Amino acid sequence: MDITIQDYLNILPLIIIAAGILISVVIEMYAKNSEKILPWFSIVIFFSAGYYALFTVNSQSVLFSNMIVTGGTANIFFFLFCFGAAIVSLLSIDYLKKAGIYFGEYYILLQSAVLGMMLLANARDLVMIFIGLEQMSIPFYVLAGFNRKKHFSNEAALKYFLLGAFATGFIVFGMGLIYGSVGSMSIDAIMTKFGDVSTNAVFIIGVLLFIIGFSFKIAAFPFHMWVPDVYQGSPTTVTAIMSTGGKAAAFSALFIALSPFFGDVSFNIFKPFLSALAVLSMLFGSIVAIAQTDIKRMLAYSSISHAGYMLIGVTSGLASGTAGVIFYLAAYTFMNLGAFGIVSMLEGENDTNLKIDDYINLGKKNPLIAGLLSIFMFALSGLPPFAGFFGKYYVFISAIESGMTWLAIVGVISSVISVYFYLRLVVLMYFKEGNEGINPTVSNTALLGVVIAALIVILIGLFPGSIIELISTFVI
C-alpha cells in the first residue's frame, strides 16, 4: 500500500477540513476572541476545500485499500457541502450574537459535520459510510441543542438524538446482514458477488433495513416525525445546514449503497417500497405545509416533500435518475440555504418574527430582502426560469424513462399544490394593504451569504444543460 503525492493531492479537501478542525480547537483554546477569528478561519477553509474539489473534479482515484474514491460525483458533493457551509458561516456571524450563543465551538462542530458529510459522499465501503454518518450526526445532535438555555433547542436536540440513534441501530443491523450474506463490507465486493446474493433473502432484508435507516436521515414520509420539531427548535443557521448538507450527504450514501443494484432486475424488489416513500413524502409534505403558520415549520414540511421528489430519481434506478438527483440536490442546497438564511436574518431575539404573518409588507420595507426571498420561493416551487424547475424536470424525465410515468404525474400534482404555499409568502410580501409587519435590521455578512446563494441559484437555472452534462459524465 504505497501512497503517492498524487494521492495526497486527491484527498486534499479532506485533509484541509480535518486539519482545520484541529487548528480550530487550538485557536479556541488559546485565543481570547476566538469567536471573532473562527468564523473567518472556517470560511477560508471551506472555500479553499470547495474550490479545490471543483478544480480537481476530473482526477478520479480509489484510495486507502478501496475505502474512499476521489473525483467525479464525490467532488461535486464536496463542493456543495463546503460552499454551503461557507455560506452558513457567513450567516452565523451575526445570528449567533443575536441568539446569545456567541461561542467558538460552534464552528468546530460545523467543520466536523462537514467532514462527516464529505466522508459519506466519497465512501466506497460500508464501514466508511457508518463512520461518515456518525461523524456528521454527532456534531448535529450538539448543534441542534446549542442554544442550551432554551427548551425548544434542548427538546430539538433530544428528539434528533434519540431518533438519529434509533436510525443508526437500523443501519448497523442492516449492515450486519449485508456483511453476513456477502462476506465483506466493501462495495466492490458486493458488486462482484452480486449475482450470487441478489436473491438471498437475508441480503435483501439487510438492504431494506439500511434504506429504512437512511429514510430517517433524508426525512422521507413515515420516518419524518422528527423533522418539523427539530427544524423549528434548532438555531436557524443550524437548520439551514442540517436540511441541505445533511440531506445531500444521506442521499449520496444511499446512491453508493444501492449502486450495485442499478441496472439490475433485482432492483425491482425495492421499487414498490421506494415509490411508496416518494409519493407519501411529496403529498404529505406539500399538503401539511399549507396549514403551517410558522415559517420554519413550513420550510421543514417543504423539505419533506423535496425528499419525495428526489426519491423519484432513486426509484428510477437509472444513471439519468442519479444525475438528476445530484443536480436537484445542488439546486436545493442553495435555494433552501438562501431561504433559511433570510429567515435567520429577520429573526428577532427570543424566537420572534418567525410567523408567516410577520413577512407582510416586507416588499415595501426592504425591497432587496423581499426580492431575494421571492427568488428562493420561485426556485423552491419549481417555476421555470429558476434552478428548482430543472431539478424536478430531470428527475421526472428519469421516472418516465424507467416506465413509471404515474410517479412523474403524482410529482407534478404535488408541485402544483406546493406552489400555493410558496407563492402565498410572495403575495403577503408585496400585495397586502396596510402597514403591519416587521422592520428588519439587516446584517451585512449574512446578506453577502444570501446574495451568493441567490447568484448560484440563478446560475444553475441559466446553465442547466452544461451542469447536468458534467454530472452525467461521472455517473456510470
Partner 1 sequence: MNIYDLIFYLFATITVLSALAVVSTKNIIYSAYNLMLTFFGVAGLYVLLGADFLAIVQLIVYVGGILILILFGVMLTNKVNGMPIHTEVTNIIPASITIGLFAGIVLAFFMNTNWKSVTTEFPATTIQSLGKLLMNEYILIFELLGVLLLIALIGAASIARKQ
Partner 2 sequence: MIPIEYYLILSAFMFIMGVIGVLTRKNAIIVFMSIELMLNSANLTFVTFSSYLGNVTGQLFVFFVMTVAAAEAAVGLAIIIALFRNKQTVSIDEINILKW
CB of 88 to partner 2, least distance (A): 21
Position among 86, 142, 257, 331 found at the interface with partner 1 (CB under 8 A): 142
64 binds, among partner 2, partner 1, none (CB under 5 to 8 A by kind): partner 1
Nearer Cβ to partner 1 (44/185): 185
Q: Which does residue 155 touch among partner 2, partner 1, none (CB within 5 to 8 A, set by kind)? A: partner 2
Least separation in angstroms between residue 245's CB and partner 1 is: 16
> Does the protein bind partner 1 through residue 1 (CB under 8 A)?
yes
Contact between 102 and partner 1 by CB under 8 A: the answer reads no
Say how far residue 24 (Cα) sits from the centre of its chain.
24
Q: Which of 16, 69, 90, 109 binds partner 1 (CB under 8 A)?
A: 109
Which of partner 2, partner 1, none does residue 115 bind (CB under 5 to 8 Å by kind)?
Answer: partner 1
- Rounded to whole angstroms, how far apart are CA atoms 387 and 145? 32
Q: How far is the CB of 354 from partner 2 (least distance, A)?
A: 13
Q: Which is nearer to partner 1, 105 or 229 (CB)?
A: 105
Q: Phi then psi for 409, rounded to 5 degrees?
A: -65, -45
CA atoms within 13 A on the CB side of 66: 10
Task: Name which of 14 and 157 has its Cβ closer to partner 2.
Answer: 157
Q: 51 is written with which cell numbers?
A: 474550490
233 binds, among partner 2, partner 1, none (CB under 5 to 8 A by kind): partner 2
> Which residue of 135, 198, 243, 415 would you call a contact of partner 1, by CB under 8 A?
135
Please state, in angstroms and rounded to a whole number, the distance separating the CA atoms of residues 353 and 79.
32
Torsion sign across C-alpha atoms 332, 335, 339, 342:
positive
Distances (CA, A) of 242 to 113, 218, 406: 9, 10, 31
State the nearest-atom distance from the C-beta of 142 to partner 2, in Å.
6
Distance CA 182, CA 198 (A): 10
**Chain residues that interact with partner 2, rule: CB under 8 A:** 127, 130-131, 134, 138, 141-142, 145, 148-152, 154-159, 161-162, 165-166, 168-170, 172-173, 175-177, 179-180, 183-185, 225, 229, 232-233
Cell numbers at residue 110, please? Answer: 460545523
Q: CB–CB of 24/42 below 8 Å? A: yes
| DSSP conformation letters of 30-42 | H-TTHHHHHHHHH
Cβ proximity to partner 2: between 109 and 325 the closer is 109
CB-wise, 139 or 260, nearer to partner 1?
A: 139
| Shortest reach from residue 109's CB to partner 2, in Å | 11
Q: How many residues bind partner 1 (CB under 8 A)?
A: 33
CB closer to partner 2, 145 vs 317: 145
- In angstroms, the CA 398 to CA 403 distance is 9
How far, in Å, are 68, 122, 128, 243, 257 from residue 190 at the CA level?
Answer: 15, 17, 15, 31, 9
And the C-alpha cell for 16?
A: 484541509
Dist. CA 171–CA 257, nearest whole Å: 11
CB closer to partner 1 out of 214 and 393: 214
439: how many CB neighbours lie within 10 A of its CB?
10
> Of 123, 151, 152, nearest to 136 (Cα)?
123
> Applying CB under 8 A, which residues contact partner 1?
1, 18, 21-22, 25, 64-65, 67-68, 103, 105, 108-109, 112, 115, 119, 127-128, 131, 134-135, 138-139, 141-142, 145-146, 148, 157, 200-202, 205
